Structure 1
Amino acid sequence: MSHTSAIPVLTAWERFCHEQPQGSLREFAGWLLNHLDPLRQTPALPDSEPIMKSGQRLSEAFDNEDFLTHFYIGRLGRYAKSYAKSILAEHGFASSDEFLFLSLIARMDQPTKKEVCIANATELTTGMDILRRLVKNGLIQETPDERDGRAKRLSLTDQGQTMINRIYGQFEQIPTSVLADLDGVERRQFIQTLKYLNNYHFQFYQP
């Protein structure tokens, strides 16, 4: 079995240590992805960021990481919604949240209404309105909880399951992935980061 030389890695490590003397191995891994991958060297499109009155792009004018994170995650969410918008509208969904609710109910074990709202990080009032529409449209059904007569358990109807399968099939035909042309390692790292942030903030979330 042939072995690739470790010299490029050691050279990169020396450069990283020079730039960030206190950096850790974990930070080095992220640095490699952000500095040595040609994809990361591609200039941003001229209209991908708003230009400030100073002439700088938004990411150059703001050094507040929380603000920039909110900006980019918000934009990414809107891009994702735009790819699915026509498909969901075709099937009568008023918003992507309705489809997200339906998808989770399909995978969860007969959740209660509150459990679905919490899983989607949606305010209870808004979530209940969404669930009522799904029931009205014949996509989900309610059954009494055997242990708590006051609670209702949710599941998909046959119509709801057919709808889910049809839409998933159409999603697979969308030519543009939300994760663009990131490779397998980058995709897993990105999802792992999102998962970490979700778990971290969930402890403070109040539906």
Structure 2
Amino acid sequence: MSTPSAVPLLTEWERFCAEHPQGDLREFAIWLLTHLDPLRASPPPPAEAEAQLQAGQRVLEAYTLDDDFLAWFFAGRLTRYVRFYTKPIMAEHGFAGPDEFLFLALIGEMDRPTKKEVCAANVTDLTTGMDILRRLQRRGLIQETPDERDARAKRLSLTEQGAQVVRQVYEQLEQMPQVVLADLDAPDRQHLLRTLRYLNNYHFQFYRP
């Protein structure tokens, strides 16, 4: 079995250094992923996919120097796409939206959390979170039990009905023709998930429910 040649990698490194004299290895890795990304070879998206601004510019062109705004813009659109895809499933099971299902699913995975812990895990303010929990409890999907160490605290868990609903929704989500990560291949998926996890952990330290 022949050993792969390192020449193509060195060629790209020289090209990167010529374009970015102060760049380091980490920046080179990101640059390499971007330039070798198979999505770059895909046909351009339809014009309606991005807002048309003055002089025919698209958002990415108009805000090319404002990465924070672009991240906010595209992350917000991705969230709305997810809501659009999952709306029929959520409605079928009586959920007002994905947030209610996320609360239910996380309660099933957490170790008998308190209401405050569930709200923090979903990055939801206490007022909104408590409303969601009350709706789930009224529907018989979650139940409260006293905390053995603190009589003032209540612990949450799924009822049998709640666990059944979670299983049904998971099965339907797996059968959706559209998926959040689209047709990204495995390396791209892992790279995106690592980035999203980093951003989540970074921002959570400043979050106050």
- Show the counterpart of 2:58: 57
Show the 5 A alignment for 1:36-47.
Answer: 36-42=36-42, 43-47=44-48
- Quick check: 1:141–1:156 contact (8 Å CA) kept in 2? yes
Letter in 2 for 1:176: Q
Letter in 2 for 1:151: A
- Cα distance in 1 for partners of 2:142, 2:24 equals 49
- Show the counterpart of 1:27: 27
- Cα distance in 2 for partners of 1:22, 1:44 equals 33
Deviations 1:121-169 (A, max 9, x none): 0000000000000000010000011111111100000000010111100
Show the 5 A alignment for 1:56-205.
Answer: 56-62=57-63, 63-205=65-207
Deviations 1:35-88 (A, max 9, x none): 122312432321111111122111101121111110000001111121111111
Structure 1 gaps, min length 5: none
TM-score by length of 2: 0.96
Farther-moved stretch of structure 1 (129-138 vs 45-54): 45-54
Q: Which runs of 4+ in 1 moved over 3 A?
A: none
CA RMSD for the aligned pairs? 1.0
TM-score by length of 1: 0.97
Structure 1 residue 31: deviation in Å?
1.1
Identity score, percent: 64
Letter in 1 for 2:152: R
- Quick check: 1:35–1:41 contact (8 Å CA) kept in 2? no
